[in-house]
Amino acid sequence: MNTDERICSIALTLCAGIGHIGAKRLVDTVGSAAEVFRLRAELPERYPGIIHASVVAALDNPSAFLRAEKELEWAEKNRVECLTLADERYPSRLRECEDAPVALFFKGNTDLNRLRVVSMVGTRHATDYGKQFCADFLRDLSALCPDVLVVSGLAYGIDVHAHREALANGLSTVGVLAHGLDRIYPSVHRKTAVDMLAKGGLLTEFPTDTNPDRHNFVSRNRIVAGMSDAVIVVESAAKGGSLITAELAEGYHRDCFAVPGRTGDAYSVGCNQLIRDNKAALINDASDFVRAMSWEQAGENGKAIAVQRNLFPELTEEEQCVVSILSRDDLHINTLVVECNIPVNRMSAILFELEMKGVVKALVGGVYHLLG
């Protein structure tokens, strides 16, 4: 990816009046951020009814380019990756969301496109019950799925406990921040953040000199939800950011789970409501979660089903790719998107066709099974 595309992607996020969805649609429609700016005067004529004159005015922003150049210079100096939508290392699950950031800043050493990614969120006022769940869950998950990536927000409470327990059990963990990478908020979590750089990393859509304002936390929640296969709400009051993340996960067609608590406990009310309203599945431990996600290691439940492609001569090249990968194990649609490098909307259509042909079967939670 060339420097021009990175600068243009950053600049696009700095143009007032464009917004998350608008920026993503522009890049998807035109093909790249660089082309968006190069062709800005012609966009309404080239894409009538899709791109309006107001967008052209918003894109005429020289100061955004100056700021973008400084941001990229700072990133390179501080060994921070700038990931655009066209980068292979950009989180592919997040890329399929309509409001995905057109530019991300990442400092760390992990693969954001791991086959298994789970987000753990919860109240900032974590109780002993919630802390113990994080410890037990991640200890057991590390044995069941040692390659899983754990995502959270590095905030007080459940977030930081999820990060710390992931590190303690040898799991990679990524913190999604509500500010730039030139600071850590809260500052008392700096040591944990530094430890994460060696086993995971820090991710943000925000440039330097961005304050951790309240609305930024709501914005970053969409990244926490969008880059994962599933979201687990450990503890939550009746209202809070964790419930917003759960709602976002539902909108992105991600699996959502909640840890039940006693009916009288203030920080279990939100989780119990999610379960009651069928917005989240109840889990008691890591085994429940792994079973629901069909993340059992290949070989634990019998040998993987071997399928000869010539049994299905009518399969397209894309369908053959899906069949080949499913021959190893039952997999979630998001995993198939990553493995096949096929957009989620196209993957949904392919899986539907394979179901109609009697080749695959849809299981609970967006998991697919290859029929013998």
Instruction: Kindly report, residue by residue over 103-116, the tens digit of the pLDDT.
Output: 999 999 999 999 99
Residue 362: what pLDDT?
86
Residue 355: pLDDT band by 50, 70, 90 thresholds? confident
- What are the two backbone dihedrals, phi and then psi, of residue 106, each rounded to the nearest 5 degrees? -135, 130
Average pLDDT over residues 263-288: 96
| Cα–Cα distance for residue pair 312/323, rounded to 1 Å | 10
How big is the CA angle at 286 (ends 246 and 277), to the nearest 5 degrees? Answer: 35
Note the pLDDT tens digit of each residue in 142-168.
999 999 999 999 999 999 999 999 999
Average pLDDT across the chain, whole number: 92
Contacts of 280 (CB under 8 A, 6+ apart): 233, 246, 256, 257, 258, 271, 274
* From 41-45, 270-274, 321-325, 363-367, the region with the lowest mean pLDDT: 363-367
pLDDT one-digit tens code per residue, 299-308: 344 333 334 4
| Chain position carrying tokens 């080239």 | 46
What one-character DSSP code corresponds to residue 14?
Answer: T
The most distant pair of C-alpha atoms in the chain lies apart, rounded to whole Å, by: 60
Q: What pLDDT score was predicted for residue 208?
A: 97
Which pLDDT score, from 0 to 100, does residue 314 have? Answer: 78
- Same fold for the domain at 117-293 and the one at 309-370? no
Q: Which residues contact 329 (CB under 8 A, 6 or more apart)?
A: 294, 296, 298, 304
Q: What share of the chain is helix, strand, coil (3-state, %, to 5)?
A: 50, 15, 40
pLDDT grade for 1, boundaries at 50, 70 and 90: low
pLDDT digits (tens, 9 = 90+) for 30-51: 999 999 999 999 999 999 988 9
Task: Give 345's pLDDT tier (boundaries 50, 70, 90).
Answer: confident
Predicted pLDDT of residue 332: 85
Q: 117-293 — its CATH code? A: 3.40.50.450
On whether the pTM is more than 0.95, the answer is: no
Tokens of 174: 């990524």
Amino acid (1-letter code) at residue 281: A
Pick the range with the lowest mean pLDDT from 223-227, 253-257, 292-296: 292-296
151: three-class secondary structure by DSSP:
strand
pLDDT band for position 313 (50/70/90)? low
Residue 91 phi/psi, 5° resolution?
A: -60, 110
Q: Is the pLDDT of residue 364 over 90?
A: no
Q: Kindly indicate the confidence band of residue 224, based on its pLDDT and cuts at 50, 70 and 90.
A: very high
Spell out the domain ranges in the chain.
3-103, 117-293, 309-370
Q: Which residues contact 37 (CB under 8 A, 6 or more apart)?
A: 8, 11, 12, 59
pLDDT digits (tens, 9 = 90+) for 44-72: 999 998 898 899 999 999 999 999 999 99
Region 178-201 average pLDDT: 97
Architecture of the domain made up of 309-370: Orthogonal Bundle (1.10)
* 344 confidence band (pLDDT: 50, 70, 90): confident
| CB environment 182-208: b (16+ within 10 A), e (fewer) | eebbeeebeebbeebeebbbbbbbbbb
Of 339 and 372, more confident: 339
